[in-house]
Chain A
């Protein structure tokens, strides 16, 4: 008998977290006399921050079963798919392939998608794509844990996920073995407690085939060898897109096959009323995501925004550009069009997004030495309570 777990994470800022989870599963399985392997998708290995990547754990009763499973290379029927950032429920467009993969695509029928989130399962189901078969959505309450490669934010997300997996897939690893493995690895009783509490607290909801986001995910058909241009030649991008009614504005040409819909964890909301058209957000955006509107405003196009927040950092007008958790949005519509259409509606929408602290509070990595330590104390108090 074999079991497999897939961890979807956001590149380098969650790489250690992803690895700790898949390693933890194997170490726990070993406690049960099983064998296992923990590995990352090699194609994801440049590990861009923000861009989804995957790590896997496969465990089996014996070597032969493990080999049989691994001969397929990448697990495609996971017992549990873990999304360590809930915005990944919108889908996975990896560094390594084209097209949007639903978060539950590689979850086996009847399997579980587990995510750490402050959202309710119902809210998350607006993002998760529909699946032909029944599956479950499990939520472990908490904000997405981000930290870089050098300084790990040890907020116990790793062990909490392990504890939750023991509950959701006991045939893969049992709680006792997870606890034993955590104790071995970190000699930290508090971590063991976190895992146990997560085991108790994880909430699961069954999802039927008729539930979830009905949108058909963007697919990409790989061409045949003779359909590709010889000499590694790819046509360049046109300098601009012609947009009706945008005379005097400018929307740059954009890569037609790689969009940033799944890369983003936050997005800027812009108060066009107080914008001074200083150009800085547009100029300093590494992703050229701002369209220049005919009125000379700058409209962050969600096709291209990867949510880095530099626009907020450079904007000289207070509260003109505000980064908001991507989870708060259900579409990728143009904010400027909304603003033009009905300014009052836009303003109240904007206010709502900025004020929604449940979903807006998040950041993505090291900001100042000592900051993690302060926060982690509080988080751990909460999760071990």
Chain B
């Protein structure tokens, strides 16, 4: 569904000898429709930047990206994005926040409202449609952000450390809700996190980004059927292997 070839990204940096800092080099990724991909790496390695390139918010310096769409894009957007902070607009009600991406798609007001409420029902917040964001808890706000991304009915859902700012209990319940949503909506998910356990619990494939500039250092496929146990031995072993790899890279000057 997404094919990324030899993607490189550099930012201008007057302090460096060649006038720029290369953030990402020779990044290749092929994502099948319906796949759940997790991208892990240390903070500041460029994971979030990678998502922004895929989202078209930041143009790449080189490389190609193709994004195959299922069906027409009428009344839809190619992707939905969830940030680490919920990033709700405080002057809009919950419902109007969810409808944010639906505006400008040529939908009627009633249609936008219907789709926003549908998306809110998906995340279990149908009864909060008329509230203001400041009246919600952190976990509820993040669920509204997920509903906003789902409302545009994208093929691809991109999430940038979406549960990083939540407490452990809320994080776990939202992880399970996300898996449930993924199963029901059959979206493709690109999930960035620095939490290796989270990546191993959620994803079909875990991609480790490391180094400066960042490159793909490993890729692991997780075959365990869902629902998965959080204390699954194979998953734990894999998480430990990825962690060891990452610390080796950091010790060995690979970063």
A, B: real partners: no
